[in-house]
Structure 1
Amino acid sequence: MCSWDSLTIAEQTLMRRAVAQNPLAGTIQAIGTALRWAGAEDAPPPRSYSEAEQGELVPRLGAVLLGLTERGLVSVREVEGCAPAASAPAVTGEQLRVVLADPVNWVWNPDSPCRFRLAAPDAVRERWGSDMYPTADVSGLPAWDELSTAQRDVLVCAAEASGMLTGPFGVWEDPPNDLSGAARLDWIDRQLAPLLPFVRAGWIEVQHHPEADSDAFTVIPLGSLRSALADPTVRYEGDEWGIGVGCTFTYAGLAIWRGGWSAAWSSRLTVR
């Protein structure tokens, strides 16, 4: 087998998603994010791909995925509902080529997000598991119990699938209605304080999600977080899920999280 570093970023992302049995839909967005985090020349700007941009990438990425299936590293499986991909029938031959050529199967849609899922044999996880999911040395970092409650809340939020900081299901409260001007900014500064070191270190990325039932987002850079979080239209104070400001671990942040904080957090949940 080849080495992990010899694989392209697209191949690495497809294999990570296959090991996790992720849907095919949404994979192009994940590849775009991985390219951006790696500083690749063909990376998208700090936002999600549009549906049209995803459609243009389908032929090239379909060929990459087809190549991985031919090498036995990844399979595409058709599922009913959201059943585990490993137990579903594999799509092969001409049917697979048809599936991979259709942008509908690559673009995330809230009405049918799970029809095709990626899967990988156990040998792939055994061969590349430590490369796919590395851990970082955290001996110089505070222990979990030494972090503030606000810091721990941000880290857990970044680890979760939804990762919403604001909005009706976010981990952060909205500013009091009677605050404005400097008082509102002071309140925002206090709320941002536990997040900023993680963003500055490149461990967490903050994203604005403007619509419900959509995977569209724009990255909020470190220098714009204060003004963005002070804007009620960006924070979103309505009732729909998925709108507002969220956060996610970068690959570097995930390595830190796996290096010790994740286990400490999990053990506390077990004790409870």
Structure 2
Amino acid sequence: MRPWNSLTTAEQTLLRRAMSEGPLAGVIQAYGMALRWTHAEEAPPPRSYSETEQRELVPLLGAVVRSLIDRDLVIFREVEGMSPSPSDPALTGDALHTVLKDPVNWLWAPAFERRFSLATPDAVRRHWADDAYPVADADGFPAWDGLSRAQREVLVCAAEASGMLTGPFGIWEDPPGELVGAERAEWVDHQLASLVPFVRAGWIEVRHYPGVNDDAFTVITVDDLHRIMSDPAIRYEGEDWGVGVGCVFTNAGLAVWRGGWGHAWGRRLHFD
């Protein structure tokens, strides 16, 4: 098998998804993130792909999936139960071609008529796991106990599937309504202090999710954080899940998390 760094970004994205037995739906957005985080020329703007852009990428990524399957690096299955299983039927031939050419199967949606997952043979996972999921040297980083409670909360938030900072399911409170002007600005800056260093380091990406049951988002740059987080409409004060401002680890941030903080959090499973 080829060295990991000789694989294309599309191949790496699909193999990572397969190593975690992840769904086909939504993988195009993951491809866009990987391009952005590696500063590739073809990277999308600092936002999610639109539906039109995702549909245009289906032929390219479909060809990559077929290539990985032909090389016995990926297994493509139709999910029959609540979660992927090795007993799910593998698709090949015309059935595979039909699924891969239909953009509906690639786009994330709240509900699906049919679901498909990627998997890898054990030998492939063993060969590339360390390269696909590297661990950063934690020397020079503060120990978990050396982080503030607010910093630890942000890191755990980025590690979680929801990753919401604001809104009804977020980890952050909204500024008190009576605060205005300089007092409100100071309150927002105090809250952001636990997040900004991780964003500047390129370990965490902050996003605004504007819609319900939608995977659309816009990346909030570190220079725009104060202005945007001061806007009640962006922070979102409604009751819908997944709307507002959230955060995720970049690949570099995940490597740092795996390098020590994640292990420390796993041992503690609670905050002081």
Task: Give the secondary structure class of the aligned counterpart of 2:182.
Answer: helix
Alpha-carbon spacing, 1:114–1:156, altered in 2? closer, same or farther (3 Å) = farther
User: What amino acid is aligned across from residue 192 of structure 1 in structure 2?
Assistant: L
Task: Give the secondary structure class of the aligned counterpart of 2:86.
Answer: helix
CA distance in 2, matches of 1:225, 1:82: 38
Point out where structure 1 has 5 or more consecutive residues left out of the alignment. Answer: none
Report if aligned partners of 1:208, 1:246 keep a CA contact under 8 Å in 2: yes
Report if aligned partners of 1:202, 1:253 keep a CA contact under 8 Å in 2: yes
Q: Counterpart in 1 of 2:59?
A: 59
Task: Give the secondary structure class of the aligned counterpart of 1:248.
Answer: strand
User: What amino acid is aligned across from residue 92 of structure 2 in structure 1?
Assistant: T
Q: Counterpart in 2 of 1:257?
A: 257
Per the normalisation by structure 1, the TM-score is: 0.97
Report if aligned partners of 1:36, 1:44 keep a CA contact under 8 Å in 2: yes
Q: Counterpart in 2 of 1:8?
A: 8
1:118 aligns with 2:102: no
User: What amino acid is aligned across from residue 245 of structure 2 in structure 1?
Assistant: V
Q: Counterpart in 1 of 2:163?
A: 163
Q: Counterpart in 2 of 1:226?
A: 226
Report if aligned partners of 1:212, 1:242 keep a CA contact under 8 Å in 2: yes
Q: Counterpart in 2 of 1:152?
A: 152
CA distance in 2, matches of 1:50, 1:113: 22
CA distance in 2, matches of 1:81, 1:226: 44
Query: Identity rate of aligned residues, in percent?
Result: 64
Report if aligned partners of 1:47, 1:217 keep a CA contact under 8 Å in 2: yes
CA distance in 2, matches of 1:82, 1:62: 25
CA distance in 1, matches of 2:249, 2:113: 22
How big is the alpha-carbon RMSD for the aligned residues of Structure 1 and Structure 2?
1.5
Alpha-carbon spacing, 1:266–1:34, altered in 2? closer, same or farther (3 Å) = same
Q: Counterpart in 2 of 1:19?
A: 19
Deviation of residue 75 (structure 1)?
1.4
1:84 aligns with 2:84: yes
1:199 aligns with 2:199: yes
Task: Write out the 4+ residue segments of structure 1 that deviate beyond 4 Å after TM superposition.
Answer: none
Q: How does 1:68-83 map to 2 (within 5 A)?
A: 68-83=68-83
Point out where structure 2 has 5 or more consecutive residues left out of the alignment. Answer: none
CA offset digits 1:199-230 (Å, max 9, x no partner): 01111000000011110000000000001100
Q: Counterpart in 2 of 1:127?
A: 127
CA distance in 2, matches of 1:87, 1:248: 32
Task: Give the secondary structure class of the aligned counterpart of 2:99.
Answer: helix
User: What amino acid is aligned across from residue 156 of structure 1 in structure 2?
Assistant: V
Report if aligned partners of 1:165, 1:172 keep a CA contact under 8 Å in 2: yes
Per the normalisation by structure 2, the TM-score is: 0.97
